[in-house]
Every structure is written in C-alpha cells, then in structure tokens.
C-alpha cells in the first residue's frame, strides 16, 4: 500500500509529531512492500527521496517560527495524483485539512486523521477563561462540534492515548481507533548517562538534576513550573534544567541568570544528545495537563528517570501505566513542589526496571506500525 500523510504539524524543530513521522519513515524503510510519502509545508516546492518513500514539500503560509500550513488544493491535487495513495492521513483539522480534502476527491483513498492536538481544551479554553469567561462553554461546545464534523467524515480517527480516545468518544465520534506510540529503547536507555554533563552544570554527586523537556509554552505547563521554582529550589541539592525553546523563553532565561541551579539548555536537535540529557537527569518534570500521549514521559522512563506529571492528560496516563513517578494537581505550583519533594526522596530503581519492560512490550514502534498497517488494510 501507499501511505501518505498531510503533515502540517511536522517540523524539524518539532517534538512528538516529528518523532512519530520519523519513526514511521524508519519502519517503512524496513518494510519495502509498502511506500510512505509525506506532504509537508515549506518555503518553496520540492521533492526528495526519504526513508521508506519520499517527502513532497509544497509552499505553505507561515504560521509561526516553527510551523507553516498547506493551503493550495491545486498543488495538493497535482501531488496526490502523482502519489496515488491508498491511505491518506490528515495531521490537523485546520486549513490544510480542507485543502487536502478537496484535492483528494475521487482518488478512492482510505481517509483517516491523527488527533495530535486537543486544540479546544489546550489552546482555546485558557484564552476564553482569561478574556471572556461567560463565552467559554458555548465556544468550546462549538469547537467540539466542529471536531466531530471534520473527523466524523473520515474512515478512522487515530488517538494515541485512552485519555484522548475517551474525549473523542464523549463528543460523539464513533470512528476512534486507539494507536499508542512507541519509544526507541535502543536510543533511550540508562547507559547514556554522562557524568561530565552533570558536572558541567555544577551538579554535585549527591545533588538531584530535574529536567523539563518541551516547548516553552503555557500549554506545556511551564508557567506552573516557573511559579513552583522558588519552593523546588528550597532544597539546596536540587537543580532544574530546561531543554527547549518557545514564547516563554525569556522567563526561563531570567531564572537561569538568577540562580546557578537553573539551567537553560535551549533546543536540543540531536536525538542522541537528548538521550544523554534524559539519562543524566534524576527526574523529568512534565507539568502540562493536556498531553495527547506523553512522549517525554516515555523517553525519560526508558532512560532511567522517574517523572513528576500533572494529573490529567496523556502524561498522567503514562505515569500511572508505568507506575514510575508522582502526580500533582494540574495548574497548582504548590502541589507540583510537593510532588517533586516526594519524588527525590524515593528509590525508583526497581520500578524503573519494571517500567522499561512495560515500554518494551507495549510501546514499541514496530507494534505501533504493524497495527497501523493492519487496521488501515481492513478499512479498504
């Protein structure tokens, strides 16, 4: 089969979505009976060979520093006629969805979508709560009706966690298929620890290094973490490192300048380097309550680090499944600090070993994409 993704959420500096697409490329490169093609927005049109198939880049309008969106159905139609996909997967419900839907008419492809971002709750609810509280309920209802309309037209809506699958089912979608992501257990493992990295940050042999890894945005909970820092740093053996970039970067830099136990590592583009950072940390801080899966949680635990997570979303689901961390009340800095204090005083060695076994058995990429191929084959 020919699998084609309309991938506006793919970015070289992206997080979980980019990880998903790269893992997909690697899988199909090892399974040449199928072909995998991505269509991604770019500054200009181009096409290149890629693992498992090809990447078509089409001119898209700039959304922010990290993302662009596809918009031209004529260009998409031309490319789709060339690709002749058996399966067409949409990565968002935005303008690119409508453009690609128009372009795909008459091609006879199975049409599915991956619900990568729960945009009504994650982005719109906080905005309405701050700016126009009385309209929050009606606006959210309208947006979820839109989600139901868009994804209800498709052959399947893919969700990476029970949390998201349950939300989609609750709004009336009856085509939801749960497809958990995976983690590369060869790349992320405790042996990647680099003691010289810790020493370079001034982390002593008996100190604890906690890591935040992700976009510096409010939906990732970084504002809650920053509010909790004074209490977290009351323990003089605790260091906190931030790996990422984003709109709240200036606030992270202020903290890094203020305290020699707060470290801004910036964006880490190398997966191998990121694996070293995970393995060199004593715990991951995952304060966002709206994760659709929890990639960072899986990668941290695979690397030997327990996790402090908000008690909602895909991150909490993974912490509970792996039994390797502590939860705090989402949005509550004081409770985050309490969970950190509990975490650094516990021994997670045995639980880490058990959690890694669970990851290897239940959350591996081969299993993910074997299920993916089988399910889409059944929809033809």
Query: Residue 68's pLDDT is what?
Result: 82
**65 — pLDDT class (breaks 50, 70, 90):** low
Mean pLDDT of 104-121: 96
Are 88 and 210 within one domain? Answer: no
Give the whole-angstrom CA distance, residue 291 versus residue 313.
5
If asked whether residues 248 and 286 sit together in one domain, one would say yes
Q: What is the pLDDT of residues 136-148, one digit of tens each?
A: 999 999 999 999 9
Per-residue pLDDT, averaged over 80-100, amounts to 95
Res 309 pLDDT > 90: yes
Note whether 156 and 8 are same-domain residues: yes
- At 67 the pLDDT is 73
Evaluate whether 308 touches 285 at the Cβ level (below 8 Å). Answer: yes
User: How much of the chain, in percent, has pLDDT values that exceed 90?
Assistant: 93
Q: Are residues 148 and 294 both part of a single domain? A: no
- The CATH number of the domain where 243 resides is what? 3.40.50.2000
Average pLDDT, integer, range 69-97: 94
Q: What is the pLDDT of residue 13?
A: 72
| One domain for residues 122 and 198 | no
Q: If you average pLDDT over residues 160-170, what whole number do you get?
A: 98
Asked if residue 256 and residue 122 are part of one domain, the reply reads no
Residue 12 above 90 pLDDT? no
Same domain, 305 and 322: yes
Q: Is pLDDT of 321 > 70? A: yes
Q: What is the mean pLDDT of residues 294-310?
A: 98
**Same domain for 12 and 93?**
yes
How much is the mean pLDDT over the chain?
A: 95
Question: How many structural domains compose the chain?
Answer: 2
The domain containing residue 200 runs over which residues?
190-362
Q: What is the pLDDT of residue 14?
A: 74
């Amino acid at each position: 089969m020919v699998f084609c993704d309309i991938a506006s959420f793919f970015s070289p500096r992206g997080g979980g979505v980019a990880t998903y697409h790269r893992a997909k490329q690697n899988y199909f490169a090892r399974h040449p009976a199928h072909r995998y093609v991505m269509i991604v927005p770019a500054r200009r049109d181009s096409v290149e060979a890629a693992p498992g198939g090809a990447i078509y880049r089409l001119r898209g309008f700039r959304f922010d520093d990290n993302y662009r969106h596809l918009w031209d159905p004529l260009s998409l139609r031309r490319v789709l006629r060339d690709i002749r996909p058996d399966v067409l997967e949409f990565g968002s419900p935005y303008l690119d969805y409508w453009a690609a839907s128009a372009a795909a008419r008459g091609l006879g492809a199975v049409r599915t979508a991956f619900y990568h971002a729960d945009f009504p709750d994650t982005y719109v609810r906080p905005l309405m709560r701050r700016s126009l509280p009385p309209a929050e309920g009606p606006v959210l209802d309208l947006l979820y009706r839109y989600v139901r309309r868009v994804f209800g037209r498709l052959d399947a809506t893919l969700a990476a966690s029970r949390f998201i699958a349950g939300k989609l089912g609750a709004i009336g979608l009856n085509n939801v298929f749960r497809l958990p992501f995976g983690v590369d257990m060869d790349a992320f493992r405790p042996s990647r620890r680099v003691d010289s990295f810790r020493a370079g940050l001034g982390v002593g042999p008996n100190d604890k290094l906690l890591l935040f890894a992700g976009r510096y945005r409010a939906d990732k909970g970084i504002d809650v973490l920053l509010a909790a820092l004074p209490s977290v740093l009351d323990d003089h053996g605790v260091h906190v490192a931030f790996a990422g970039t984003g709109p709240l970067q200036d606030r992270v830099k202020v903290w890094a300048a203020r305290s020699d136990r707060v470290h801004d590592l910036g964006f880490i583009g190398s997966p191998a380097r990121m694996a070293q950072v995970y393995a060199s940390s004593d715990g991951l801080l995952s304060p966002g309550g709206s994760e659709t899966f929890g990639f960072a949680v899986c990668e941290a635990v695979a690397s030997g680090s327990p996790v402090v997570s908000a008690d909602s979303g895909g991150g909490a689901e993974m912490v509970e499944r792996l039994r390797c961390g502590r939860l705090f009340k989402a949005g509550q800095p004081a409770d985050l600090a309490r969970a950190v204090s509990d975490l650094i005083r516990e021994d997670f060695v045995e639980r880490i070993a058990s959690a890694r076994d669970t990851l290897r058995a239940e959350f591996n990429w081969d299993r993910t994409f074997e299920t993916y191929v089988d399910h889409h084959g059944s929809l033809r």
